[in-house]
C-alpha cells in the first residue's frame, strides 16, 4: 500500500498545479472544473484500477469523478477512492489560504460511502485514540483527551470551524479553561494536524461535511489517530439518501472502523494556497511550478516538495 500511495501522489499534485492560474480570479466553477479534469486524467494514468466512492456527485449530476466511476487500467476495481479536487473552492476563487487538493484510498469495500450532508465529528491523535467519544459531552471529551495526552486542561488547544452552529462548543471549551483556535475552511487539514507532534492541535470538534469526514478519517487511520462521526440528515430526502447508499442506520455512531475498515489505507494532499499544513503552488522563473504535499500510509508520513518542469521540445537541426 505504501507503493500505491506514492503513485497516487501525482494525482493531487496535478490537480493543485492546474488550479494555480485561477487562484484569486473569482471563478470557482472553472477552477473546480480544471482541477477535476486534471485529477481524473492522472487517475486514468495509474497502473491500478480505482473506483470513486466519494467524488463530485452522482453519475447524473457529475460528468467526471462521479460516484461509481472506474479509473486507471479499467480492470476489476481494487482500490476505493474518496476525492476532492479542491477542498475550499470559494477560498481559491477569493485567493484565501488553506486550500488543498486531496484524496484518500483503501482496498475495495473498505471506505464508507458517505452522502453529501452534515456530519458531527471528533478527531484526536494517537496518544488520545480511544479516549474520546463523539456522543459524550464536550467537556468530558476534553478532560479525557487531556489525561491521555498528559496535559493540563489549560494547555489543550481545540480546533473549531468558525460557524454560528459552533458557538455553544466554543463557550464550553473556553469556560473549561482550554483554548480554541478557529478556522474558516477545510477541516481535513486540522483533523490531520491532531496526529502530528509538530502542531499544537489536540482535538478537532464540530459539524462539517460527511465526505470530508471520510477523507479525514482515512488520514487519521493511516497515522494511528482516532476519528468518529455521526451523520446528520436534515430532512427525509437526506435520510433516504443514506439508505440508498447502503447506510441502513443513519443514526448510528460511526467509529473509525465503520468509516475506514482497513489499516491498508492512505491519504495524500497537495497545497493550492498557503495554509497551516502545506504551502501553496508557487511559480518559479515564470514557467516551472513547485508543489508541497503530504502523504501518509501505514503509520508513516512525509512532506514532499516537487518541481514541475515544463519540457519544451527542441526542433531537430
Annotated binding site for Mn(2+): 32, 56, 84, 87, 212
Residues marked as binding?
32, 56, 84, 87, 212
Dihedral of CA 107/109/111/117: which sign?
positive
Q: 288 — alpha (psi -120 to 50), left (phi > 0) or beta?
A: beta
Question: Alpha-carbon distance 296 to 289, whole Å?
Answer: 23
The answer to whether the beta carbons of residues 134 and 228 sit under 8 Å apart is: yes
Cβ partners under 8 Å of residue 31, min gap 6: 19, 22, 23, 25, 86, 89, 92, 93
Q: Report which of 121, 106, 47, 101 is spatially closest to residue 294, judged by C-alpha positions.
A: 101
Determine how many CB atoms are found less than 10 A away from the CB of residue 146: 22
Question: Alpha-carbon distance 201 to 206, whole Å?
Answer: 14
Q: Which residues pair with 118 in a beta bridge?
A: 209
Which residue is it, cell 497502473? 47
What does the DSSP 8-state code read for residue 146?
H
Determine how many CB atoms are found less than 10 A away from the CB of residue 240: 13
Identify the three-state secondary structure at position 80: strand
Question: Alpha-carbon distance 283 to 21, whole Å?
Answer: 10
The answer to whether the beta carbons of residues 277 and 192 sit under 8 Å apart is: yes
Question: Alpha-carbon distance 79 to 105, whole Å?
Answer: 6
Amino acid at each position: 500500500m505504501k507503493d500505491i500511495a506514492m503513485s497516487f501522489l501525482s494525482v493531487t499534485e496535478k490537480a493543485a498545479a492546474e488550479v494555480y492560474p485561477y487562484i484569486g480570479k473569482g471563478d470557482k466553477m472553472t477552477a473546480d472544473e480544471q482541477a477535476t479534469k486534471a485529477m481524473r486524467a492522472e487517475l486514468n494514468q495509474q497502473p491500478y484500477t480505482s473506483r470513486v466512492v466519494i467524488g463530485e456527485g452522482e453519475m447524473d449530476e457529475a460528468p467526471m469523478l462521479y460516484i461509481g466511476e472506474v479509473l486507471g487500467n479499467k480492470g476489476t476495481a481494487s482500490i476505493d477512492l474518496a476525492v476532492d479536487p479542491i477542498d475550499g473552492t470559494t477560498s481559491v476563487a477569493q485567493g484565501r489560504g488553506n486550500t488543498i487538493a486531496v484524496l484518500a484510498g483503501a482496498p475495495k469495500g473498505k471506505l464508507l460511502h458517505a452522502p453529501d450532508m452534515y456530519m458531527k465529528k471528533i478527531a484526536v491523535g494517537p496518544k488520545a485514540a480511544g479516549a474520546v467519544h463523539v456522543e459524550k459531552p464536550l467537556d468530558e471529551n476534553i478532560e479525557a483527551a487531556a489525561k491521555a495526552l498528559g496535559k493540563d486542561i489549560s494547555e489543550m488547544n481545540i480546533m473549531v470551524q468558525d460557524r454560528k452552529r459552533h458557538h455553544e462548543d466554543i463557550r464550553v471549551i473556553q469556560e473549561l479553561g482550554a483554548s480554541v483556535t478557529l478556522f474558516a475552511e477545510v477541516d481535513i487539514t486540522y483533523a490531520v494536524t491532531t496526529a502530528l507532534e509538530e502542531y499544537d492541535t489536540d482535538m478537532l470538534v464540530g459539524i462539517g461535511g460527511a465526505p470530508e469526514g471520510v477523507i479525514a478519517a482515512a488520514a487519521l487511520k493511516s497515522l494511528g489517530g482516532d476519528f468518529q462521526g455521526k451523520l446528520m440528515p436534515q430532512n427525509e430526502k437526506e435520510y433516504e439518501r443514506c439508505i440508498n447508499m447502503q447506510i441502513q442506520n443513519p443514526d448510528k455512531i460511526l467509529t473509525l472502523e465503520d468509516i475506514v475498515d482497513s489499516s491498508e489505507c492512505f491519504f495524500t494532499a497537495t497545497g493550492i494556497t498557503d495554509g497551516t499544513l502545506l504551502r501553496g503552488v508557487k511559480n518559479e522563473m515564470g514557467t516551472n511550478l513547485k508543489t508541497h504535499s503530504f502523504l501518509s500510509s501505514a503509520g508513516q508520513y512525509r512532506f514532499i516538495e516537487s518541481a514541475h518542469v515544463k519540457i519544451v521540445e527542441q526542433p531537430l537541426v
